[in-house]
Amino acid sequence: MKILLDEQLPVKLKHRFNPELDVSTVKDEQWLGVKNGVLIQLALNNEFSVFITNDHNLAHQQFLSQFKLLFININQPSNRYEDVLPSVCQRTL
Protein backbone atom coordinates (compact mmCIF):
# COMPACT_ATOMS: atom_id res chain seq x y z
CA MET A 1 0.00 0.00 0.00
CA LYS A 2 1.42 3.37 -1.04
CA ILE A 3 0.39 6.34 1.08
CA LEU A 4 0.93 9.98 0.15
CA LEU A 5 0.97 12.73 2.79
CA ASP A 6 -0.16 16.13 1.54
CA GLU A 7 2.34 18.97 1.59
CA GLN A 8 0.81 20.92 4.49
CA LEU A 9 1.34 17.96 6.85
CA PRO A 10 4.62 17.75 8.80
CA VAL A 11 7.18 15.62 6.94
CA LYS A 12 8.21 13.79 10.12
CA LEU A 13 4.67 12.42 10.38
CA LYS A 14 5.58 9.74 7.85
CA HIS A 15 7.85 8.08 10.42
CA ARG A 16 4.87 7.37 12.70
CA PHE A 17 3.37 4.82 10.30
CA ASN A 18 4.01 1.11 10.32
CA PRO A 19 7.42 0.59 8.65
CA GLU A 20 5.87 -2.06 6.38
CA LEU A 21 3.83 0.66 4.67
CA ASP A 22 5.23 2.69 1.81
CA VAL A 23 4.65 6.26 3.03
CA SER A 24 5.85 9.25 1.06
CA THR A 25 5.31 12.98 1.28
CA VAL A 26 4.57 15.49 -1.46
CA LYS A 27 8.02 16.91 -0.68
CA ASP A 28 9.66 13.47 -1.10
CA GLU A 29 8.05 13.20 -4.53
CA GLN A 30 9.17 16.76 -5.43
CA TRP A 31 5.57 17.82 -6.05
CA LEU A 32 5.58 20.90 -3.79
CA GLY A 33 3.25 23.62 -5.03
CA VAL A 34 1.35 21.33 -7.40
CA LYS A 35 -2.38 22.11 -7.47
CA ASN A 36 -4.78 19.50 -6.07
CA GLY A 37 -6.21 18.22 -9.37
CA VAL A 38 -2.75 17.64 -10.85
CA LEU A 39 -1.47 16.27 -7.54
CA ILE A 40 -4.24 13.68 -7.40
CA GLN A 41 -3.48 12.60 -10.96
CA LEU A 42 0.24 12.32 -10.13
CA ALA A 43 -0.62 10.19 -7.10
CA LEU A 44 -2.74 7.88 -9.25
CA ASN A 45 -0.11 7.66 -11.99
CA ASN A 46 2.47 6.69 -9.36
CA GLU A 47 0.23 3.97 -7.87
CA PHE A 48 -0.58 5.62 -4.55
CA SER A 49 -3.71 4.15 -3.01
CA VAL A 50 -4.18 6.52 -0.03
CA PHE A 51 -3.94 10.31 0.16
CA ILE A 52 -3.85 11.84 3.65
CA THR A 53 -4.50 15.54 4.01
CA ASN A 54 -5.70 18.24 6.36
CA ASP A 55 -7.11 20.33 3.51
CA HIS A 56 -10.59 21.38 4.64
CA ASN A 57 -11.50 22.55 1.13
CA LEU A 58 -10.35 19.54 -0.90
CA ALA A 59 -13.79 17.93 -1.07
CA HIS A 60 -15.27 21.23 -2.27
CA GLN A 61 -12.57 21.71 -4.93
CA GLN A 62 -12.51 18.20 -6.40
CA PHE A 63 -15.11 15.53 -7.13
CA LEU A 64 -13.22 12.93 -5.06
CA SER A 65 -15.45 9.93 -5.72
CA GLN A 66 -14.33 9.87 -9.36
CA PHE A 67 -10.79 8.83 -8.34
CA LYS A 68 -9.62 5.34 -7.36
CA LEU A 69 -7.83 6.75 -4.34
CA LEU A 70 -8.78 6.66 -0.67
CA PHE A 71 -8.83 10.20 0.72
CA ILE A 72 -8.37 10.64 4.46
CA ASN A 73 -8.89 14.14 5.80
CA ILE A 74 -7.67 14.24 9.39
CA ASN A 75 -9.71 17.43 9.89
CA GLN A 76 -7.58 19.15 12.54
CA PRO A 77 -7.61 22.91 13.26
CA SER A 78 -3.87 23.26 12.55
CA ASN A 79 -1.08 21.44 10.74
CA ARG A 80 1.28 21.45 13.72
CA TYR A 81 2.84 18.04 14.35
CA GLU A 82 1.45 17.93 17.88
CA ASP A 83 -2.07 18.60 16.58
CA VAL A 84 -2.13 16.10 13.72
CA LEU A 85 -0.21 13.26 15.41
CA PRO A 86 -3.14 11.97 17.53
CA SER A 87 -5.31 11.68 14.41
CA VAL A 88 -2.74 9.55 12.64
CA CYS A 89 -1.85 7.42 15.67
CA GLN A 90 -5.50 6.59 16.34
CA ARG A 91 -5.81 4.98 12.93
CA THR A 92 -4.59 1.47 12.27
CA LEU A 93 -2.61 2.25 9.14
Residue 9 is predicted with a pLDDT of: 96
Domain total for the chain?
Answer: 1
**Residue 58 CA to chain centroid, in angstroms?**
11
CB 93 within 8 A of CB 19: no
Domain coverage including residue 61: 2-89
In the chain (93 residues long), the average pLDDT of successive 10-residue segments reads 95 92 96 93 96 85 82 92 84 48
